[in-house]
Amino acid sequence: MGSEVNVSSNNALSMIGKIPWMLLLIVFLLVAEYFQVSLEGTLGYVFITCAVAVLFIEMFKSGDVSPVAFFVDQFWAVLTVILATGLLTYLYFVTGKEPTFFHWIGFAIVIADALLNPFNAFRTALRNFDVAG
């Protein structure tokens, strides 16, 4: 009976690990821009809360990964940085609008993900090999 709970929790964790969560932040910002939805007020604070939660999920995913999972995680990190940079460029140069505080928070979290996750994977690899840092 206890193994059934363990198997289902492992399936849930592996499913969480396969989703590129940072893309959801970029998609949210793109949809908000496309539909001209203002991020001021409650929606913006919900976005910040979700963005911080996504950062923690991504940090959790980056520890104890296989080489293939590390490569895939880096691929998604680079892609989200590219998309975030494209959105920032679009907002500033094409539409002539200033990115809002909420856009900057989203971009900062995307950059933090791209910088911190390889560090976390390296740190856990050193720990797993019992190498002094």
In terms of Cα–Cα distance, which of 57, 71, 49 is closest to 22? 57
- Provide the pLDDT for residue 126: 82
> pTM for this structure?
0.82
**Could you tell me how many helices (H) and strands (E) the chain has, helices first?**
5, 0
Which of the residues in the chain have pLDDT under 70? 1-10, 13, 132-133
- Provide the pLDDT for residue 9: 62
- Provide the pLDDT for residue 45: 94
- Provide the pLDDT for residue 7: 54
- Provide the pLDDT for residue 63: 81
- Provide the pLDDT for residue 129: 79
Instruction: Tell me the domain boundaries of the chain.
Output: 19-127
Distance of CA 40 to the CA centre of its chain: 22
- Provide the pLDDT for residue 95: 83
Gyration radius of the chain's alpha carbons: 17
Structure-token pair, residue 110:
């995307």
Please write the tens of the pLDDT for every residue from 21-38.
999 999 999 999 999 999
- Provide the pLDDT for residue 110: 95
